[in-house]
Amino acid sequence: MLRIVKRPVALTIAGSDSGGGAGIQADLKTFAALGVHGTSAITCLTAQNPRRVLGVEPCSPKMLRQQIDAVFEELPPRAVKTGMLFTAENIRVVAEFFGRRTTPSTASLVVDPVMVSTSGARLLLPAAEKVLQEKLLPLAALITPNLDEVEVLLGRKPDSADEMRAAAREMFRRFGCPALIKGGHLRHRASAIDIFFDGATELELASRFVTGVSTHGTGCTYSAAICAALALGRDLPQAVAMGKKFVTAAIAESYGAGKYSSLQHLNSYGRRNRKN
């Protein structure tokens, strides 16, 4: 008799990357590698490759809401992550949905405040920044900004581990949610460090820089791995640590695709770590 293994469900609300390295595509590969059933609500189409973004076309707010409704109707996720939301209207759709849910604790919300692509293209319209801060961030179980995004949110860019710690604490005070400050752009260090703070627990997560690869989609993969870990029942500090290990392995095992490097979303990592 066929034995059906039941997997927890996670939802990504993000943009589509036609190059396959970031966005919805990276999120679903990460969910699959970690043993989670991935669902999606696409916020916008992008015409992009690892070098540049040629165009962005947002989904209508009505269609975005219908996608989220459809997932929750039959495949209620244990955890949700947002990535590229792009417009103020679509941020409001997400914020209104999660703000009105009668049992919000059933789905932890990880917000990756995607603002600018690796190639420098804007992935969040300027008019949407205030809505993101006022409507969505206070609903998050975790926010995962990189240093450039911290600068937009707080008005200053951390330049050291101590400044990252201060930024994580200010994020918690200002938005009322835990923060993971990603320090991968502090290139004068020997290791890539991230700082997590949830109001009580502070973690410093460090890994050696992987040289010789030009990565794309690391932030998406990192937040998706945290989302998957939450769907698997990990608490938030455990999920953040699991996400760090996963994205570090994905970078270290990068493979060539055309002229570029692509993250390896390792199925073997997922099998080894589902029970860890």
Question: What residues are labeled active site?
Answer: 182, 215, 217-220
Sorted by sequence, the CB contacts under 8 Å of residue 184 that are 6+ apart come out as 146, 192, 194, 218
Q: How far is CA 143 from the centre of its chain?
A: 8
Rounded to 5 degrees, what angle do the CA atoms 29, 71, 196 make? 55
Residues 260 and 242: their CA atoms lie apart, in Å, by 26
Which H/E stretch holds residue 42? Answer: strand 37-48
CB atoms within 10 A of CB 190: 8
Q: Specify the amino acid at residue 245.
A: K
Residues 263 and 247: their CA atoms lie apart, in Å, by 8
> Which tokens sit at 80?
């949700």
